[in-house]
Amino acid sequence: MTPNNLKNERLNEEIHFAELENGLKIFFMPKNDYLKKYAIFATNYGSNDNRFIPIGESEIAEFPAGIAHFLEHKLFEEPEGNIFNEFSKLGSYVNAFTNFNQTAYLFSCTDKFYENLELLVKFVQNPYFTDENVEKEKGIIEQEIRMYDDSANWKVFFNCLDGLYHKHPVKVDIAGTVESIYKITKEDLYNCYNTFYHPSNMILFMIGDIEFDKAFSIIKNNQRDDLKSIEGEIVKEYPEEPESINKLKVEESLSVSTPLFNIGFKDLDIGFGGEDLVRKQLVTSILLEMLMGESSEFYQKLYDEGLINNSFGTQYVGHKNYGHSIIGGESEKAEKVLSEILSYLEEKQKSGLNKENFQRIKQKYIGYYFMDFNSIEYIATTFVNQYFNGSSLMKYLDILEGIKFKDVEKRFNQHLTSDNYTLSLITPK
Amino acid sequence: MSIEYLREKIDNGVHFNLIKTNKFKTNLINFYIVRPLSKDEATKNALLPLILKRGTSKYNTSLEIQRRLEELYGANLSINVNKKGEKQIIRFAIETVNSDFIKEENLLRKILDMLNEIIFNPYTENEVFSQNYFKQEKENLKKRIEGRINDKKTYAVERCIEEMCKNEKFSIYKYGNIEDLEDISCKGLYEHYRSILRSSPMEISIVGNINKDEAINSIQDTFRLHREDIINLPREEVIKAIRTKNMITEEMDVNQGKLTLGLRTNIPYEDKLYEPLIVASNILGGGANSKLFLNVREKESLAYYIYSKSYKYKSIMIIASGIETENFNKALDIIKDQIQELKDGEFTDDDIEQSKNSLITTIRSMTDNNYSMSEFYLSQALTKDTSHISDMIEKINKVSKDEIIEAANKLSLDTIYFLRKKNN
């Protein structure tokens, strides 16, 4: 095997890459002075992907909301028992997560990396679902959903997505609903598994003080041999989402002390991935910070007036087929915050952005990029995320440095307009 | 492993800790002011970080502070209060990218200057904090204290501790309380701050690739420390006999009930049974292979999360879980059975091995995180413990089954706290 090698001199980091015949892509970043070793095995399949053509079939089928997350829980089950046990024996820490677009299985350890790696590769490729073990999981996931139902931050966010989107599955909780998960069957799980857990739809990223050749052979020697290669891409279907927002306002009461708000702006400039998507994410994040970050006059004004506190913040999330900016915080007068934001944006559209603010915030993002490389968990999850979005973590700095003031100005003119927002509000019970 | 640790006294009651390593791409400076946890000053200490963040004599507003931090390549500044046992610690942390990666000279010196501004030169009007900032931040702290109920998981654990340690200092909330907040005056707070700067033990820690002399020189050149008599920090009370046997139920409009148990471990951290206790706690509820996880979650599907955690300084253990309100008795019975099994030695050598391995992995992993390293050495300083990470691992490795059983048999259940769904 001769791995490809991508080195970033400024960062003083490199990434090795190799691909197996069955299509699995393997990446490795050396971190020789770290004691922790980490591997993540991920599929390009998340809670949004509920309508697709199952492998070997020809028609689109629809599955209950929350199935990707349910599948994540169930993969830990093996005929001999729960795989947690095997990792525990090695003293390592195993976990998994499902988000809108991916499902990932990971472990970290400081010893016996190769044994852990073998376990990871094997258990993710070995589904074992029975009617009984599927039933048993429903109670556990129900408690997980109920736990999130009591989390005001979680609810205010999903209610905001519900306000922004008419049909797109991003509006539905990643874990699904108590009703939807009780509909899930063993057969559904196998159907989703067989379609999305094909090695050609997956990547494996490793980081730490590891010998790549040795790790590569372990991965290679533990592949399933009963898989057919698949031709072409998996056909996924998403409902056609109108440009308009779904609801102007979504309100709910929970046991909280202060009202919480999320103001969402729907992104209409969508439909692309790759470096263009990464650039858009960065441009939009810089724009939001310039307008409303802690170093902006606007933030200071709202803070001084007692309209917001230090929980106030902004974020942009962009994916190939959806995107939104969210401005959130706590306030006794969320409606007033909204109207202040709207009139401020209108005024700023006329008076224009400030170039010095742009330079400073860009400088901060450059610093953050290096700082983030302290955390191997961050590197691993971000690498996977960027890969599935069609870009690379190693190109991020070049993209960031290439951003010009006029890119941000241009973005401001088409995003954050007064007809594409929604207000989500959680009020005390 | 390329990590060196050095500790040196640099002034009356002030210690410098250098955690020298080149594995991180940043330099992190932590400045800790250590106070005894007491009702008299807890609320004041909690208010200070909020006010100090608002302005300095050079950077009068938080806008100016933020802009300066952005110029320094997005230096992260955080100021907060924390509770470590019966001590309250004000921590000023600043971290920025190492000069090797960017075209900026003396970045370390510049962030030290910023830290100095924040700690020693707060913005004042008429020789006290700004009345305006004071009023606003008092209101913000009030909201934060009231906001305790927002995160139900943490709230249930804190309430259990509060009920269990009702007559002890450990029950004091790290952000203080609203009654005391009302009584604080701007002048009183300013004087309190001046006084704690003179009399508190301080720990200054740097994690990064810096040499010792350069670091100490920079610190001594930058900070003007006016030290007086340094206060004594009393060791935590570890109560051996249970004073209160509690069953507390609180109702709230929630979807999920939170069942929390408070136990006395009756083992101080200096005791030879301390490491066996840590292993015992891990076997009981440390992870996905623990007795509580396997029986409450995997076998009975009663909970999504359940764990146990022991609190080093105060010698208590908390068991926390989220369950359906109507499953209270069932879950409680299983938890009690599992504690009893632990005491009876109903666990295997494999369980012991796994728990030890998992604890050792956690300890070793600390060295990959600059904040954890800094906190670890702070905690060693507070407990006057000079052992290193390798010593801790060795002690864990030596723990025997008999010792685990002996430690487990010292556990006594003190308080059951249940946050339940309101009956409609």
How does residue A426 score in pLDDT terms, banded at 50, 70 and 90? Answer: very high
Instruction: Give the distance from residue B193's alpha carbon to the nearest chain A alpha carbon, in angstroms.
Output: 22
User: Do A215 and A257 fall within a single domain?
Assistant: no
- In chain A, which residues have their Cβ closer than 8 Å to the Cβ of B134? none
pLDDT by residue for chain B (424 residues), tens only, comes to 568 999 999 999 999 999 999 999 999 999 999 999 999 999 999 999 999 999 999 999 999 999 999 999 999 999 999 999 999 999 999 999 998 888 888 888 999 999 999 999 999 999 999 999 999 999 999 999 999 999 999 999 999 999 999 889 999 999 999 999 999 999 999 999 999 999 999 999 999 999 899 999 999 999 988 888 999 999 998 866 666 668 999 999 999 999 999 999 999 999 999 999 999 999 999 988 899 999 999 999 999 999 999 999 999 999 999 999 999 999 999 999 999 999 999 999 999 999 999 999 999 999 999 999 999 999 999 999 988 899 999 999 999 999 999 999 999 999 999 999 987 6
Cα–Cα nearest to A190, from A75, A88, A90? A75
In a domain, A236, yes or no: no
Cβ within 8 Å of residue B82, ≥6 positions away: B88, B89, B91, B174
Say yes or no for a CB contact (<8 Å) between A255 and B70. no
**Separation CA B420–CA B259 (nearest Å):** 8
Where residue A57 sits, what CATH number does that domain have? 3.30.830.10
Cβ within 8 Å of residue B59, ≥6 positions away: B65, B68, B117
Measured between CA atoms, the residue of chain B closest to residue A358 is B70
User: Do A212 and A318 fall within a single domain?
Assistant: no
Rg from Cα positions in chain B: 23
HSE-CB at B256 with a 13 A cutoff on CA atoms is 28
**Separation CA B123–CA B132 (nearest Å):** 11
Cβ within 8 Å of residue B79, ≥6 positions away: B49, B52, B53, B90, B91, B92, B93, B118
Q: Write down the domain spans for chain B.
A: 4-222, 246-421
Of A146, A295, A360, the CB nearest to B256: A146
* Interface subset of B 321-350, CB within 8 angstroms of A: 322-324, 350
Say yes or no for a CB contact (<8 Å) between A300 and B63. yes
- Number of domains forming the structure of chain A: 2
- In chain B, which residues have their Cβ closer than 8 Å to the Cβ of A137? 301
pLDDT digits (tens, 9 = 90+) for A197-232: 999 999 999 999 999 999 999 999 999 888 877 777
The active-site residue out of A72, A77, A86, A289 is A72
In a domain, A262, yes or no: yes
pLDDT digits (tens, 9 = 90+) for A78-124: 998 889 889 988 989 999 999 999 999 999 999 999 999 999 999 99
Instruction: Give the distance from residue B224's alpha carbon to the nearest chain A alpha carbon, in angstroms.
Output: 29
Cα–Cα nearest to B319, from B275, B280, B262, B366? B262
Q: Do B414 and B252 touch, CB atoms closer than 8 A?
A: no
**Residues B297, B303, B306: CA angle, nearest 5 degrees:** 80
Given the structure tokens 């999981």, which residue do they identify? A137
User: Do A211 and A284 fall within a single domain?
Assistant: no
User: For residue A41, what are the CA distances in angstroms to A25, A90, B185?
Assistant: 10, 18, 56
Q: Which amino acid is at B145?
A: I
User: Do A189 and A264 fall within a single domain?
Assistant: no
pLDDT over threshold 60, residue A1: no
Instruction: Give the distance from residue B8's alpha carbon to the nearest chain A alpha carbon, in angstroms.
Output: 26
Say yes or no for a CB contact (<8 Å) between A306 and B139. yes
Total residues belonging to chain A: 429
Alpha helices in B121-268 (DSSP H): 131-146, 152-164, 178-183, 186-199, 212-222
**How many other β-carbons are positioned within 10 Å of the β-carbon of residue B163?**
20
Q: Do A283 and A407 touch, CB atoms closer than 8 A?
A: yes
Measured between CA atoms, the residue of chain B closest to residue A76 is B288
How does residue A3 score in pLDDT terms, banded at 50, 70 and 90? Answer: low
- In chain A, which residues have their Cβ closer than 8 Å to the Cβ of B72? 367
Say whether domain B4-222 belongs to CATH 3.30.830.10. yes
What pLDDT does B424 receive?
A: 63
pLDDT digits (tens, 9 = 90+) for A126-147: 999 999 999 999 999 999 999 9
User: Do A41 and A179 fall within a single domain?
Assistant: yes
Q: Do A245 and A421 touch, CB atoms closer than 8 A?
A: yes
Question: What is the domain range of residue A371?
Answer: 249-428
Say yes or no for a CB contact (<8 Å) between B256 and A303. no
Q: Which CATH class is domain B246-421?
A: alpha beta
B424 in A contact zone (CB under 8 Å):
no
What pLDDT does A2 receive?
A: 55
Q: Do A357 and A295 touch, CB atoms closer than 8 A?
A: yes
Of A137, A364, A373, the CB nearest to B74: A364
User: Do A130 and A92 fall within a single domain?
Assistant: yes
User: Do A309 and A200 fall within a single domain?
Assistant: no
Q: What are phi and psi of A334, to 5 degrees?
A: -65, -35
B295 in A contact zone (CB under 8 Å):
no
Of A93, A310, A376, the CB nearest to B368: A376
Of B95, B143, B360, the CB nearest to A91: B360
**B338 CA to centre of own chain:** 28
Do the two domains B4-222 and B246-421 of this chain adopt the same fold? yes
- Characterize the bridge pairing of strands B202-208 and B14-20: parallel
Say yes or no for a CB contact (<8 Å) between B150 and A368. no
User: Do A25 and A71 fall within a single domain?
Assistant: yes
Q: From A221, A239, A266, give the residue that closes a domain.
A: A221
- In chain A, which residues have their Cβ closer than 8 Å to the Cβ of B23? 33-34
Instruction: Give the distance from residue B301's alpha carbon to the nearest chain A alpha carbon, in angstroms.
Output: 5
User: Do A200 and A255 fall within a single domain?
Assistant: no
Q: Do A15 and A396 touch, CB atoms closer than 8 A?
A: no
Measured between CA atoms, the residue of chain A closest to residue B296 is A140
B282 in A contact zone (CB under 8 Å):
no
In a domain, A235, yes or no: no
**How many other β-carbons are positioned within 10 Å of the β-carbon of residue A69?**
24
User: Do A142 and A39 fall within a single domain?
Assistant: yes
Instruction: Give the distance from residue A86's alpha carbon to the nearest chain B alpha carbon, in angstroms.
Output: 9
Q: Which amino acid is at B139?
A: E
Cβ within 8 Å of residue B49, ≥6 positions away: B79, B80, B81, B90
**Separation CA B156–CA B152 (nearest Å):** 6
How many A/B residue pairs have CB atoms within 8 Å? 186
- In chain B, which residues have their Cβ closer than 8 Å to the Cβ of A299? 63
Q: Do B178 and B146 touch, CB atoms closer than 8 A?
A: yes
- Looking at residue B230, the DSSP 8-state letter turns out to be P
**Separation CA A83–CA B291 (nearest Å):** 16
In a domain, A384, yes or no: yes
**Residues A54, A55, A60: CA angle, nearest 5 degrees:** 30
* Interface subset of B 75-94, CB within 8 angstroms of A: 75-76
Of B22, B256, B365, the CB nearest to A36: B365
- In chain B, which residues have their Cβ closer than 8 Å to the Cβ of A374? 24-26, 369-370
**Separation CA B326–CA B23 (nearest Å):** 51
User: For residue A110, what are the CA distances in angstroms to A119, A209, B332, B358?
Assistant: 15, 10, 35, 10
User: Do A294 and A192 fall within a single domain?
Assistant: no
**How many other β-carbons are positioned within 10 Å of the β-carbon of residue A232?**
5
Say yes or no for a CB contact (<8 Å) between B288 and A94. yes
What pLDDT does B69 receive?
A: 97
The verdict on whether A72 is a catalytic residue reads yes
B393 in A contact zone (CB under 8 Å):
no
Measured between CA atoms, the residue of chain A closest to residue B352 is A89
Exposed/middle/buried for residue A403 (C-beta within 10 Å: 0-12, 13-18, 19+): middle
ipTM of the complex: 0.91
Exposed/middle/buried for residue A225 (C-beta within 10 Å: 0-12, 13-18, 19+): exposed
User: Do A270 and A184 fall within a single domain?
Assistant: no
